Amino acid sequence: LVPCRADQTYGEVNQLGGVFVNGRPLPNAIRVRIVELAQIGIRPCDISRQLRVSHGCVSKILARYNETGSILPGAIGGSKPRVTTPNVVKRIRDYKQGDPGIFAWEIRDRLLADGVCDKYNVPSVSSISRILRNKIGSLSQPGQYEGGKPPPPPPLSYNHVYPYSVSPPGVPVAAGHVGLQRAWPSVHTVSNILGIRAFVDPTAITGADGYQSKMEDWTSVNRGAFPSATAVNAVEKAALEPDIKYPQSSSNLSSYVQACAYSPANQYGVYSGPAGNYVAAGHHWPSQGAALTHSHTGPSSALHSAVGLKGEDRKPPSSLSKHQHGVQGLSLPTS
């Protein structure tokens, strides 16, 4: 509601007293906790109250998690990759030149038959018609891009990247989110569980106000609040940007990791751990990266993968690991 703007933080306060930034995703750390709490049997309504996140949001995050295995928010902004890549346009032109009387639907079929496109990225008949009309029509000189702009950066086939094209048939993939796996790290979980207490009782850490407990994450939103001095190590550095810049992105775990990684910013170590393991979704289109999988062998591996790739990774999400978690989820700490 009220745009409260305390010196270092900004955001609004919801009915539960929680802080949020309108239009922006909840910090990953909180998302993780929502899932964690649910995993240990806390009811959504209680999670909502404890974390001061609207029940609608809790519901949404849990639903998504159950469906995709990802705790990450979807990719915000941007556009879907164009299906009419230069290569496709070129092929269309070739077909047209080879057979001036060819119909758009025939071109479409040929694109599929020739493997230029697959059913997921083949241009619609109307798109093909438009291309014929606008780009090919009379002129047929190569190298012509829409709007006369310079050739886009190698539009390398989105084929590899487009999630839809890679998902195994039959496996419903929520738009843009690919499964990920979650291996709930026992060790980290412990710390999280411990953290819960503090979180639940904000006053324990922040004093009367309590909002603070949520604010911590907003540091990601507010660079000013960042203790640059503390975030020294490379990992954090690397992680930093991503969360700020691509909070939702994910294609790199870093964003995720980051939320936890820089806990130095937040004085509580509450969110420290699990990060990498909860992984990720990717930017819808291009990234398929979503699948991440972070091998969760250990934090380090997670970090690894996290840091390196940006919106892309190398392999198809192969199977979303989504179901593997169905079983039981986190195994809590036993230790």
Q: Which of 4, 5, 8, 60 binds DNA (CB under 7 A)?
A: 60
Site for DNA in 248-267 (CB under 7 A): 248
In DSSP terms, 6 is beta-bridged to: 9
How many chain residues touch DNA (CB under 7 A)? 44
Looking at the Cβ atoms of 172 and 298, the one nearer to DNA is 172
Looking at the Cβ atoms of 16 and 40, the one nearer to DNA is 16
The nearest distance, CB 113 to DNA, in angstroms, is 26
Looking at the Cβ atoms of 95 and 238, the one nearer to DNA is 238
130 binds DNA (CB under 7 A): no
74 binds DNA (CB under 7 A): yes
Q: Which of 137, 152, 227, 308 binds DNA (CB under 7 A)?
A: 152
Site for DNA in 298-327 (CB under 7 A): none
Could you write out the three-class secondary structure of the chain?
Answer: CCCEEECCEEEEECCCCCEECCCCCCCHHHHHHHHHHHHCCCCHHHHHHHHCCCHHHHHHHHHHHHHHCCCCCCCCCCCCCCCCCHHHHHHHHHHHHHCCCCCHHHHHHHHHHCCCCCCCCCCCHHHHHHHHHHHHCCCCCCCCCHHHCCCCCCCCCHHHHCHHHHCCCCCCCCCCCCCCCCCCCHHHHHHHHHHHHHHHCHHHHHCCCCCHHHHHHHCCCCHHHCCCCCCCCHHHHHHHHHHHHCCCCCCCHHHHHHHHHCCCCCCCHHHCCCHHHHCCCCCCCCCHHHHCCCCCCCHHHHHHHHHHCCCCCCCCCCCCCHHHHHCCCCCCCCC
62 binds DNA (CB under 7 A): yes
Q: Which of 40, 44, 144, 164 binds DNA (CB under 7 A)?
A: 44
Looking at the Cβ atoms of 86 and 333, the one nearer to DNA is 86
The nearest distance, CB 105 to DNA, in angstroms, is 23
One symbol per residue from 159 to 198: x for binding DNA (CB under 7 A), - otherwise; what is it?
A: ----------------xx----------------------
Nearest to 28 by CA among 193, 260, 291, 263: 260
The nearest distance, CB 172 to DNA, in angstroms, is 14
Site for DNA in 80-119 (CB under 7 A): 80-82
Positions touching DNA (CB under 7 A) are 1, 14-16, 18, 20-26, 31, 43-46, 53-57, 59-63, 73-82, 152, 175-176, 245-246, 248, 284
